[in-house]
């Protein structure tokens, strides 16, 4: 398969990074604990030789009356590019990712960024990958109505609470509802096909809201959901602790997410467990596709081997560059992959569901053009991600593919940090 070489510019601003890479490797100069901010639209800004489609920001004007506001009280927003032709009544909603805030300090910081305030959001962003309007970049969804819903609540669109003292609004659930209502009024109610997608924290939000999304449409509408890099595992970190469970405990408790998590889970598990997708996916009634790297870069850096769990820095080099991992570290990461494969077993038994687990050190693969659909995109059994998702969505073929363990896949676009 032809190799494309990419050029990278890295800016060390945590909330505004441009991504760069070469020869299937992508280097980033970031605060390493902020990998959740690895995002497709920044990554795609450096996509070589492409005339990027820039799509403007629309604020949801009636949201404030419903209390559906960002952390700082500003209006939520989305970017909409209209479909045409055969796609004019087809709708793709993409939920933006970008980590979570789990205490007053991190949420107060966040409200001064685009992750907590529409005042700081870009007025236009490039649509690439699954959001591209070019058939040669996005063969199945290029002419659909495509929407990027901006993420400014810090709890995967699930919270509903406030902290008056800190002047924080935790209104993710209301933002979700207000945005959906607004889009329905703009024609989405006439959809004959719809797909809810999202990456990272947006991938988790997609799982949480998938059945709600299905409920917006008549049964005659084909509705499915796609979670990209959203399979966050309730894993034990390298110190024997539970870094991510502790983080999620703060998110769920602070932001009042419990009442908005699927009841089929909260009826028998604690609310923190019900923020972990492994406890949600088997009970989602709507067809769901899970796309995930078996060695998810964000989870390695922020859940398995964060600096807080690695005070002596034994994992420092490995978490930044898989090629620097020792044999025991790789063995540990193989255990993480095995954990992932175990938690999807029940989910994978349902014929309606789809699965693409590739053995890459990466995070988010639908919104970046190089991983979604390009000459050298990652493949499993000669099938790339865009084709796999399209085959599953349109029922052209069942798709449940799991890669052989690292290092067997030479089509990966691994992420490397410095």
Quick: pLDDT tens for 52-70. Answer: 999 999 999 999 999 999 9
Cα angle 98-75-189, degrees, rounded to a multiple of 5:
85
Q: What is the pLDDT of residues 348-388, one digit of tens each?
A: 999 999 999 999 999 999 999 999 999 999 999 999 999 99
What lies within 8 Å, CB to CB, of 287 at 6+ separation is 223, 224, 225, 352, 353, 354, 392
CB atoms within 10 A of CB 250: 18
Q: What is the per-residue pLDDT across 256-265, written as a single tens digit (0 to 9) for each? A: 999 999 999 9
Closest by CA position to 317, among listed 32, 34, 30, 8:
32
At 149 the pLDDT is: 98
Whether 41 has a pLDDT exceeding 70, the answer reads no
- Backbone angle region of 199, left / alpha / beta, with phi > 0 → left and psi within -120 to 50 → alpha: beta
- 315: Cβ–Cβ under 8 A, 6 or more apart, which residues? 238, 305, 329
CA–CA gap between residue 116 and residue 108 (Å, rounded): 9
Residue 50 pLDDT grade (very low, low, confident, very high; cuts 50, 70, 90): low
Check: CB of residue 127 under 8 Å from CB of residue 53: yes
Query: What pLDDT score does 14 carry?
Result: 27
Beta-carbon contacts of residue 164 (< 8 Å; ≥ 6 apart): none
Nearest residue to 212 (alpha-carbon basis) of 233, 230, 196: 196
| Residues involved in catalysis | 200, 296, 363
Domains, the chain, ranges and CATH? Answer: 51-402 (3.40.50)
Structure confidence at residue 51 (pLDDT): 85
Query: In degrees rounded to 5, what are phi and psi of residue 130?
Result: -65, -15
Q: Distance (Å, rounded) from C-alpha 87 to C-alpha 101? A: 37
Q: Can you tell me the mean pLDDT for 75-93?
A: 98
Which DSSP category does 337 fall into? H
In this structure, are strands 77-81 and 53-59 parallel, antiparallel, or unpaired?
antiparallel
Please state, rounded to an integer, the average pLDDT across all residues of the chain. Answer: 90
Three-state DSSP at 215 gives: coil
The strands making up 288-293's β-sheet, listed across from edge to edge, are 124-127, 53-59, 77-81, 145-149, 90-95, 193-199, 222-228, 288-293, 354-358, 400-402
Q: What was the pLDDT predicted at 418? A: 85
Average pLDDT over residues 328-355: 98
Phi-psi region of 273 (alpha: psi -120 to 50; beta: other; left: phi over 0): alpha
Q: Tens digit of pLDDT for each residue in 206-236?
A: 999 999 999 999 999 999 999 999 999 999 9
* Peptide bond just before 104 cis, omega within 30 deg: no
Mean per-residue pLDDT, 152-172: 98
**53-59 and 124-127 beta bridge pairing:** antiparallel
Residue 302 CA: distances (Å) to CA of 13, 53, 246, 315: 18, 32, 12, 12
pLDDT computed for residue 9 by the predictor: 23
Token pair in block for residue 336: 């993480």
């Amino acid at each position: 398969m032809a190799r494309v070489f990419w050029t990278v510019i890295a800016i060390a601003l945590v909330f505004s990074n441009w991504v760069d890479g070469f020869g299937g490797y992508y280097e980033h100069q970031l605060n390493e604990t902020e990998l959740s901010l690895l995002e497709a639209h920044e990554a795609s800004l450096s996509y070589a030789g492409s005339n990027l489609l820039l799509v403007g920001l629309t604020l949801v004007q009636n949201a404030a009356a419903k209390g559906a506001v960002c952390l700082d009280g500003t209006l939520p927003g989305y970017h909409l590019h209209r479909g045409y032709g055969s796609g004019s009544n087809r709708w793709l909603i993409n939920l933006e990712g970008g980590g979570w805030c789990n205490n007053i300090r991190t949420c107060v910081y966040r409200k001064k960024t685009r992750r907590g305030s529409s005042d700081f959001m870009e007025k236009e962003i490039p649509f690439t990958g699954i959001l591209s309007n070019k058939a040669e970049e996005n063969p199945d969804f290029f002419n659909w109505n495509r929407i990027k819903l901006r993420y400014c609540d810090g709890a995967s669109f699930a919270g509903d609470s406030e902290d008056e003292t800190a002047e924080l609004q935790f209104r993710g659930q209301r933002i979700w509802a207000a945005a959906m209502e607004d889009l329905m009024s703009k024609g989405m109610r006439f959809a004959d096909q719809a797909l809810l997608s999202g990456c990272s924290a947006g991938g988790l939000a997609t799982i949480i809201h998938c059945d709600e999304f299905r409920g917006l449409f008549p049964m005659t509408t084909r509705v499915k959901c796609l979670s990209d890099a959203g399979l966050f595992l309730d894993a034990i970190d390298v110190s024997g602790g539970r870094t991510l469970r502790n983080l999620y405990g703060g998110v769920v408790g602070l932001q009042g997410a419990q009442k908005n998590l699927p009841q089929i889970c909260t009826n028998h598990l604690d609310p923190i467990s019900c923020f972990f997708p492994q406890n949600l996916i088997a009970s989602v009634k709507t067809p769901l596709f899970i796309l995930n790297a078996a060695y998810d870069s964000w989870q390695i850096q922020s859940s398995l081997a964060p600096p807080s769990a690695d005070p002596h820095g034994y994992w420092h080099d490995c978490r930044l560059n898989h090629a620097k991992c020792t044999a025991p570290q790789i063995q540990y990461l193989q255990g993480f992959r095995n954990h992932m494969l175990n938690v999807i077993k029940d989910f994978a038994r349902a014929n309606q569901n789809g699965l693409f687990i590739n053995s890459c050190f990466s995070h988010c693969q639908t919104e970046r053009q190089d991983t979604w659909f390009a000459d050298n995109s990652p493949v499993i059994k000669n099938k790339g991600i865009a084709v796999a998702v399209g085959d599953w969505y349109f029922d052209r073929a069942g798709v449940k593919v799991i890669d052989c363990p690292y290092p067997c896949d030479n089509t990966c676009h691994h992420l490397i940090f410095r």
